[in-house]
Each structure stands twice: as structure tokens, then as C-alpha cells.
Chains A and B, each alone.
Chain A
Amino acid sequence: MADIEQLSNPPGDASAPVTERERLNERAYRTAVVGFIIAIIGGLVAAWAYWTDRTTHGLGIGLALALGGIGVGLVSWAKYLDLPENIAQQRHVLRTTEEERADFDDEMKMTGETVGRRTLLVALFAGGFGSLVIGFVGPIGSLGPKPSGELRHTGWSAGKRLVTSEGLPISADTEPAIFDQLATIFPEGEIGRDDSQVVLLRMQPDALTDRTLDGGSLDGWVAYSKICTHAGCSVGLFGIDDRPPDVVRQLVCPCHQSVFDPTDGAKPIGGPAPRSLAQLPLAVDDEGFLVAQSDFDRPVGPITWTGA
């Protein structure tokens, strides 16, 4: 071990009383003994706990004692041995020398000239490899279909009834009218379809703005896509602050705290969402149940590159 060097020794150890060292060593020895004994007990505790169906707390604490006991034992054992902590060793030089570099360059130059003698072969090899890569594009494409308008259409179409997740249709004139309630609604026959989930609200008609009325509200009923325009979470929180002077109604996305105004076309009024929730135009069918006038007038959910 020519690279191990011994440094001259400034004192330190000599200044410490021998009794102090012995005391510390004795303590480390005792700690190691206790640690290993705890480890033995811990393993047995774990086995007993498993046997008696205490398989989370009992088993875990038993195993933790066994592991921790071994850990404490090993570290204390090493401390007891009081091994030297200031041994010096030389570093090797990592940097390349000039000769090494020249030697390598020569080798590469020579072999490069040998291999590259026929440039046609080099070009064809590159071409063959490139072609191979192109050949594998197909199977990668099988991982998922090409988007073909799925992101632009939902399950809604003219005349489709609004139903709850239990499949019940909504009567347009409930008597007495219950305002400021939120329900999650799906198109009939497509309950649970993700892109078609809608929040249906009924608010006092005079609280709604013209934009909301034009967007297809009916007697205070308004329906918005439930999918946030920011990151696509379900806008599931409806809050009302009716402290004077105004009543403030808000739809909130729980994921990133985007806030929408349900009385004004679900316009974003806080948080990171850049756009309004799409509004579903509503109508009433012959039996008095709420139906959709058409699909949403724009894509629902998070805005994509082509989502202008």
C-alpha cells in the first residue's frame, strides 16, 4: 500500500485522560450488548405478533426493534473498537497525461481510417439503422389511437335528457323551486361518461347575467361542464356567501383552487384556470324534463394546442 501515508501526529490523544477513553469505550461496549439483546427480543416479538394476528403494530414494532437493535449494536461495536479515524491515503491523478491522449488519438485515427475505408458502407450502415428506427415507429403508434375529434365531442346532443348518476331525469318545474343546489348530471344512457359530466345548478333567474341566459339557461337552471379548463379536475365545490350586500356564488375546483362565477357563464374569477367552463344549452321536452339543446359549443376540459 504505497499510497497510504502516515501523517505526523499533532497530539490530542495524549491529552485525553486514559480513564475517560476507557469509560467511553466501556459505555459503547455495553450499548452494543444491549442493542443486540434488543434485536434478539425484537425478532421474537415480531414472530409472536404475527402468530397472534397483531400484524401491523405488533409485527412492525417487533421488526423495528430487531433492525434497530442490530443497527445500534453494529455502530456501538465499531465505536468500542475505537478504530483510527485519521488515516491518510494519497489520491491518484485522474487527469489524462499528454502521452495517453496522443496514444488514444493515434489509435482512433488508425482504426478510423481502417474502418472508414469504404464510405459507401458507412453511409449504407447509417441508412439501414435509420430505416430500422422508422420501422419501429408503427408498433409505437399502436400504443394509442390518433386523436380524431374525441376531445371535441361529448355524449350530449339535441334532446338528450339530463339524468343524475342514479339515472333519474330532472323535472324542469319542481315545486317549490329549490335554489342554489348543485348536482352532477350525465346524458341519459351514458352515466359516468367522463367528458360529459355536468354541474347543474338552479339559481334565482334575476341573478344571472345576459351571457348566461343567452348560453341556454332555463328558469334559473344552468348547466356547465364539470371539467376544469385548467387541468381537468372535477369542479365539485359550490359556495354561497349571502352576507350583505351581495350574494356571491362560486364554483371552485378543489385541485388547484380555480374559481368560476356560475351566474356569469362560469367565467374564471380566480386561480389558474384561463377560460370559462363550457355551458350546456338547456331545453324542456314534452314530458317536462330537462334536455340538452345541443352539444357544448366548444371543447370541454383542459385547453390543448389545437383548442383555440
Chain B
Amino acid sequence: MARGAVERYVDAVTARVGGQSWLTSNLRKVFPTHFSFLWGELALYSFVVLILTGTYLTMFFEGSQETLIYTGSYEPLQGQEVSAAYDSVMRISWDIKGGLLIRQMHHWAALIFMGAVALHMARIFFTGAYRRPRDINWMIGLTLLILAIAAGFTGYSLPDDLLSGTGLRITYAIILSIPFIGERLAFLIFGGEWPGTDIIGRLYPIHILIIPLSIIMLLGVHLALVWHQKHTQFRGHGRTEGNVIGERVWPSFAMKSIGLMFLVAAVITAMGAIFEINAVWLYGPYDSGAATSLAQPDWYVGFLEGSLRLMPPWETRIGDFVINNIFYSGVLIPGIIFGLLYAVPILDRRLTKDTDDHHLLDRPRDAPNRTAIGAASITAVTILFIGGAQDIVARTFQLSVGHVTTILQISFLVLPPIAFVVTRLVCISLRDRPGPERTERRVPVERNESGGYAVPYDDPGVDWMLEGGAAPGHFDEITAPDAVRGPSGVAPGNVDDNMDDDDGADDDADADVDAGAPS
């Protein structure tokens, strides 16, 4: 058979640089499947959208605070003095065909990116995937989260509208409050006293070069480690600490994953087309004497906003010096949150005395303490998040802002411990519940070529439901939810059930393992 173009070109390269067998074996690599493994992919693909739309926006954006008179096509602002940055965002939104769509896609992609990152991190936490040997990748991922927040914040600040100016001003105040170095640091970052004329020009290269480059490099390491260490998998039939059961990278995983990339891009594009976001023409250019009520930052900064709003008015005097309470709410609390997140694998090792490598995931209920800590943390961060919009909550429920603040302050102290206790009890009772799968031992049968049935293997000592190391007494999950669909077009008699080495996808019946259909 004649070789195709792909084969010839790849061979032309590998014949010079080597590595063709490496390539082949990686095409045959196996990836486990589970819906919760998609969150990371979702983050990756929304990041791709961010890079593409962001690159387009840089073609038009001006990172400058030079003032000029607005003459674009948005009538209410014509003749007003605005900064070049604001003017260029207005031009993108009103005068460049398709500019508003790309801008709104960029903003929506950022919000979805952060959401996917948060879900991904929650999945890693609650299944214990951060444990050795993936503790390094947990810390890399956390650094990526911080970079992502920084990217979001710098991007939010660039249009130089009222909201972005207000956000910058609060940042300036937070930096000023840092003991010893705050004032000097704030002047270094902002080029002098607020409001200066340098900050947008400085944030621009940080937003479009330094942060994206850092993210791309760290993301490369993050994914390379996932690839090299192989993905974790949930417990199930045949799954052990020593293997991976799933689908091959090519074509199965690749087709679905690339399909997912297009779907993510489609959703973001539709949102950019339909839902207006960050309408800077309504907020107007930044005016330091103005501020609007009911203004909110992007959702992923909500916990910090809540921290600022809920912190009681404590200030600490040390001799001639003062620590303002925004140091506690703006530096200390986020510092504690991220410090604890970095320490998660270390604390886990200390508390459980478990230093083994883990490739099998826990179900959340199987680790009641971890799950309870996670639930308590999510409760605390959620209360901060609600606190970030406490005026809107007060307005909605016809309460006074002060009362809502007090309720949230008390909740912040009281609810996380309650969440811990309740979650722990729920986990323990779920874990210890005898599941239906546990009550009857299943024996696999197979139809042989002569039409009869046989038990292909049956070791009374091994309950295959529990192979893979589930704790005794706990029922386990079925491997494949769609086990009803086996390989098509293959007569049952052809299914190979021996333990031979498999030499690739030569026949698609090979190596296919389906856990017994639960039905």
C-alpha cells in the first residue's frame, strides 16, 4: 500500500532527528476517561481562545494614558477627554467590524477559564490526586491559578474605564498598607502617587507578554508531567496502582478532545455574540472623583472583595507605625488561602503519614476528613464571595447592609466548622453503607465459540468488583458506564481474553475490557 502524505512527511523528519518509535508509542498511549477529567481540558481550551482573541485585540489596543478627545461613533462621549487606552477600547467596540465580538469573547473566555480552573482544582483536591507523585504538579497548577488571576486583573485594568480605575485604586491602597515597604513599592509600581500616567503602559506588556508567556511555559510543564506520570484513574475493575485503563490517544481521545476544544470555542463565541459584558461606554472613562455603587469585580476576585468588605475596622498600632485593616483583608487573607493551598500535599502527608505514590483516585466519601476540610474551605470562600456583593444581597432581601455584613461575619466563623462536621458524617455514612453491588458477588460468564457459556476465570478469593484496591467493606464503582456498548461488529467469540501483549490497534477488539454491565 502506498504511504500517505502524513507518513512520508513524519518519516522525513524522524529520519533526521529520530524518535519515530517514541511518536508511535505515544499515539498508542492510554488515557483514562471520566467526566471530571474534562475540567482541565476545558481550562486549556478556553486559554487557547484567550490567546487567539487577545492577539487580535493587541492589534488595536493602545497601552497609553495620554489624553485625547474622543471622536468615535459613540455619540454620548463625543468631544469628551479620554485616555488613549479607553479610546482604543471604544474603537474596538464601536468602530472595528467584529471588534466588539472578539472583545466580549475575550472577557467571557477569561471568566470561563477561571471557572474551569477552579473546578479542575476542586476535582484534584477531592479525589486526592494532589498526592505524591503529583504534588509537584499541584503546586505548578496552583502557580498557574495565581498567574491566571493576575492575567484577569491586569486585563480588567487595561480599558481605563471607571471600573478598572477603581480596581487599580484599591490595589494601590492595598500595596500602600504593606508594612515597611508598602509606600515605596506602590510608588515603584505606579510610577509615583495615584493617579499617575504610567500604570496602563506598564500593565500592558505584563498582560500580553509576561503573564501569558509564564502561563504557556508552566502549562507546558504541567501537561508534560501529566503525560509522563500518566493520568490518575478511579478505582474499578482491573484498575490497579500499576496500570492505566482507558482509551488510546489516537484516534479516540484526540478526536473527542479536539471536538471539545471546538465546542468550548463555540460556547464562548455564542456568549460573546449574545451577552454584553463590560460595557465600558456605559461606565465612562476613569474619573478619580467618581465611583459607582453596585459595582462588582469579575467573579474570581469576589472572594477578595468580600474579604475587604467583611473585615472589621481594626487597625494595629506599633509605636509610630500603623497596619491598616486592608493589609489583613487584602494581603494576609489571600496569603493564608494560597499558602494553605500550596501546603495541601505536605499537610496531607503529615496528617495521614501516607508517603506512598498514589495513582488510584479516592472517591470523596472514602476520605471523610479531606472532603470535610474541602467543604469547610469552600464554605468560607463562598461566604467571602457573597460578602463581596453584600450591598446587592441587602438590596435584594430588603435588609440593611450593616446587618448583612454582621450575619456574614458570624457565618464566616461558624459555618465552616458546621460544614466540616456535616460533610464528615455524610461521607462516613455513605462510605459504610453496604451498596447493592456489594450484596451479591458477581461472576462473569462468557459465551464460547460453541455457543455455550463458561466462566473464564473465577477465583473465589478475589472479588473482581474490588480489584484495584478498594477498602474492604466499601463497594466500588463500575468501570465503564457505557459498558453495554462493546466493540461493534465483533462476534463475542472473537473477543480475546488472554493476557497477551498487545501490539497496537491492529484489531479493535483487542484489549477491550468492559466491566460487567450493572443492569
Q: Which residues of A contact B (CB under 8 A)?
A: 1-2, 4-16, 20-22, 24-25, 50, 53, 55-57, 59-61, 63-75, 77-78, 81-92, 94-95, 140-141, 143-147, 150-151, 165, 184, 192, 194-195, 197, 226, 230-234, 236-237, 253-259, 268, 270-275, 301-308
Contact = CB atoms under 8 A, between A and B. Distances in A.
20 contacts: A6-B499, A10-B514, A16-B517, A50-B97, A68-B267, A83-B251, A84-B512, A85-B512, A88-B511, A91-B243, A94-B133, A141-B188, A195-B193, A230-B173, A271-B401, A272-B312, A272-B325, A274-B324, A304-B324, A307-B324
A21 B511 contact: no
Contact of B444 (A10, A234, A255, A257): A10
B242 interface: yes
* Most A Cβ at <10 Å: residue of B104, B309, B320, B357: B309
B97 A53 contact: yes
3 closest A-B pairs by CB: A13-B486, A60-B273, A74-B259
A305 B98 contact: no
Contacts of B516: 10-12
Interface string B476-519: 00011011111110101001111111111000111111111100
B320 A255 contact: no
B445 A11 contact: yes
B262 A59 contact: no
Contact of A91 (B173, B258, B359): B359
A25 B488 contact: yes
Contacts of A274: 313-315, 324-325
B292 A254 contact: yes
Interface of B: 25, 28-30, 33, 97-101, 104-105, 133, 166, 169-170, 172-174, 176-180, 182-184, 186-195, 229-230, 237-238, 241-248, 251-252, 255-256, 258-267, 269-270, 272-274, 288-295, 305, 308-315, 317, 320-326, 329-330, 357, 359, 390-391, 401-402, 405, 444-447, 456-457, 464, 479-480, 482-488, 490, 492, 495-504, 508-517
* Most B Cβ at <10 Å: residue of A61, A256, A271, A302: A256
Given A78-B256, A304-B183, A231 B326 contact: yes
* Most B Cβ at <10 Å: residue of A61, A89, A146, A233: A89
Given A12-B517, A94-B229, A232-B194, A1 B502 contact: yes
Contacts of B193: 147, 150-151, 195
A231 B174 contact: yes
B22 to A, nearest CB: 12
Contacts of B133: 94-95
A21 to B, nearest CB: 5
B255 A77 contact: yes
B393 to A, nearest CB: 11
Given A72-B263, A144-B190, A64 B269 contact: yes
Contacts of B330: 231
A255 to B, nearest CB: 6
Contact of A59 (B184, B237, B273): B273
A21 B238 contact: no
A9 B514 contact: yes
A297 B193 CA distance: 20
B508 A84 contact: yes
Contacts of B313: 230, 258, 268, 271-274
B517 A15 contact: yes
B299 to A, nearest CB: 17
B266 A5 contact: no
B28 A1 contact: yes
Contacts of B490: 13
Nearest to B311: A272
A12 B504 CA distance: 22
B507 to A, nearest CB: 10
Contacts of B255: 74-75, 77-78, 81
A88 B238 contact: yes
B247 A85 contact: yes
Contacts of A69: 266
B332 to A, nearest CB: 14
A190 to B, nearest CB: 12
A95 B359 CA distance: 13
Contact of B97 (A1, A55, A87, A270): A55
Contacts of A147: 183-184, 187, 193
B362 to A, nearest CB: 18
A84 B33 CA distance: 11
Nearest to A20: B484
Contact of B189 (A10, A143, A273): A143
Given A16-B517, A56-B273, A272-B313, A257 B320 contact: no
A20 B486 CA distance: 11
B180 to A, nearest CB: 6
B441 to A, nearest CB: 13
A64 B266 contact: yes
B499 A257 contact: no
Nearest to B295: A254
* Most B Cβ at <10 Å: residue of A20, A83, A143, A234: A83
Contact of A271 (B177, B180, B309): B309
Contacts of B514: 9-13, 86
A237 to B, nearest CB: 6
B112 to A, nearest CB: 14
Contact of A5 (B176, B183, B263, B499): B499
A230 B487 CA distance: 65
A24 B485 contact: yes
A271 B309 CA distance: 7
Contacts of B482: 85
B269 A236 contact: no
A301 to B, nearest CB: 7
A302 B248 contact: no
Contacts of A81: 251-252, 255
A4 B183 contact: no
A16 to B, nearest CB: 4
Contact of A74 (B256, B291, B391): B256
A21 B192 CA distance: 70
Nearest to A268: B313
* Most A Cβ at <10 Å: residue of B174, B266, B270, B272: B266
A252 to B, nearest CB: 8
A77 B248 CA distance: 15
Nearest to B167: A255
Given A9-B456, A9-B514, A88 B269 contact: no
A65 B447 CA distance: 46
Contact of A302 (B177, B244, B272, B500): B177
Contacts of A85: 33, 246-247, 252, 480, 482, 512
A90 B191 contact: no
A86 B105 CA distance: 37
Contacts of A233: 166, 169-170, 291
* Most A Cβ at <10 Å: residue of B172, B322, B405, B500: B322
Contacts of A53: 97
A199 to B, nearest CB: 10
B30 A87 contact: yes
Contact of B510 (A67, A84, A257, A273): A84
Given A74-B259, A272-B312, 10 more contacts: A1-B25, A84-B248, A85-B33, A144-B190, A147-B183, A147-B184, A194-B195, A254-B391, A256-B309, A275-B315
